[in-house]
Amino acid sequence: VILTDYPGVNLSIAKYVKARTDIPVYYYISPKIWAWKEYRIKNIKRDVDELFSILPFEVPFFEQKHGYPIHYVGNPTAEEVGGFLSGYSPSADALALPSGDVGASSKGIIALLAGSRRQEIKDNLPAMIEAVREFMGDYRVVLAGAPSIPAEYYGSFVSGTGVEVVYDSTYRLLACSTAALVTSGTATLETALFGVPQVVCYETPIPKVMAFLRRHLLKVRYISLVNLIADSEVVMELVADTFSVDNIRRELRRILPGQPAREAMLRGYDEVRRRLGTEKAPDNAARIITGLLGGADGRNKSAKCLESQ
């Protein structure tokens, strides 16, 4: 049985399979118990034969802290971005904006990646827009529209602000951006892999309470994948009680061209790329699983399973 992500369901499946059969259980994209619900390690040790990670910092967490060997197989996002960039042509893949293609303007672009859920957008986008107002004379500000969010919803925030919205073009947007404001999640890693300096902005309800929970309940120092992978503060994280228009504006100014913080961040991105490696994660995981199943232990388990049927 090969389980993929979604621990709430998959750990229950793993428990059922291990309790009733001799079928080996492999888990691809390991549960993020380093952030919360660390107690699940007991279930993983009991019910999962082999664990496959797409985040390099998970290896010391599982192996050194919990004595549970795992496989780091590479990162799909790194592969996807690398594949896009290998075939990217600025002229052929021009970013089409309502006000005209990027090539028609000498202005740089500040990208806004405000999340994919309505509440997330509502919490973050207004402050992002307010923070970039003073830079709009020199930069075009472009928001990456989430496929599930209708244009009318974005319109309630961007109408009359000069902010443009593009759909299905996040990679093309990042490929030609000077800087970005990004909510936490995979988007922070994508932005780093495109070499775009960023400020991570994540507003939360009741910020003081969330700041307390972050300090005392979360098991990690950072929330962005970039910093977690680098194990250092490569990008500034403005979260909960540090999230404000003034702070976003100040940090954005520090990463624009000519600023020392920009160059330092780009050097940090190099370390993130190095740690991620160049393996194709699904192919690598499949190769390891095939090897495990081809061994004597795998054949014996398969034979016993067939006999029991």
Average pLDDT, the chain: 89
Same domain, 145 and 234: yes
- Alpha-carbon span 208 to 152, nearest angstrom: 32
Same domain, 36 and 169: no
The Cα-based distances of 303 to 15, 25, 49, 288 in angstroms read 21, 16, 18, 20
Q: Which tokens belong to 147? A: 């496929």
Residue 101, pLDDT score = 58
In the predicted structure, residue 9 carries a pLDDT above the cut 80: yes
Same domain, 294 and 262: no
Same domain, 160 and 289: no
Residue 306, pLDDT score = 46
- Alpha-carbon span 140 to 142, nearest angstrom: 6
In the predicted structure, residue 125 carries a pLDDT above the cut 50: yes
The pLDDT-based confidence of 100 (bands split at 50, 70, 90) is low
The pLDDT-based confidence of 105 (bands split at 50, 70, 90) is low
Mean pLDDT of 99-124: 82
Query: Per residue in 228-261, pLDDT tens?
Result: 999 999 999 998 789 999 999 999 999 999 999 9
Bridge partners of 239? 202
Q: Work out how many domains the chain is built from and give that number.
A: 2
Same domain, 135 and 16: no
Query: Per residue in 128-183, pLDDT tens?
Result: 999 999 999 999 999 999 999 999 999 999 999 999 999 999 999 999 999 999 99
Burial of residue 238, with CB atoms counted within 10 A of its CB: 0-12 exposed, 13-18 middle, 19 or more buried: buried
The pLDDT-based confidence of 217 (bands split at 50, 70, 90) is very low
Residue 23, pLDDT score = 95
Q: Which tokens belong to 271? A: 């370390």
Residue 302, pLDDT score = 52
Same domain, 246 and 131: yes
Query: Per residue in 10-42, pLDDT tens?
Result: 999 999 999 999 999 999 999 999 988 899 999
Higher pLDDT, 219 or 117: 117
- Alpha-carbon span 194 to 173, nearest angstrom: 10
Same domain, 96 and 240: yes
Same domain, 129 and 191: yes
Same domain, 190 and 257: yes
- Alpha-carbon span 13 to 7, nearest angstrom: 9
| Domain housing 268 | 78-276
Same domain, 70 and 88: no
Give the 3-state secondary structure of the chain: CEEECCHHHHHHHHHHHHHHCCCCCEEECCCCCCCCCHHHHHHHHHHCCEEEECCCCHHHHHHHHCCCCCEECCCHHHHHHHHHHHCCCCCCCCCCCCCCCHHHCCCEEEEEECCCCHHHHHHHHHHHHHHHHHHCCCEEEEEEECCCCCHHHHHHHHCCCCCEEEECCHHHHHHCCCEEEECCCHHHHHHHHCCCCEEEEECCCCHHHHHHHHHHCCCCCCCCHHHHHHCCCCCEEEEHHHCCHHHHHHHHHHCCCCCHHHHHHHHHHHHHHHHHCCCCHHHHHHHHHHHHHHCHHHHHHHHHHHHHC
Q: Which tokens belong to 247? A: 């702070």
Residue 94, pLDDT score = 75
The pLDDT-based confidence of 297 (bands split at 50, 70, 90) is low
In the predicted structure, residue 97 carries a pLDDT above the cut 90: no
Question: Does residue 256 contact residue 134 with C-beta atoms inside 8 Å?
Answer: no
Question: Does residue 164 contact residue 147 with C-beta atoms inside 8 Å?
Answer: no
The Cα-based distances of 6 to 28, 30, 61, 141 in angstroms read 10, 9, 19, 35
In the predicted structure, residue 299 carries a pLDDT above the cut 70: no
Residue 300, pLDDT score = 56
Q: How many CB atoms lie within 10 A of CB 153?
A: 14
Same domain, 190 and 56: no
Same domain, 102 and 190: yes
| CATH (domain of 227) | 3.40.50.2000
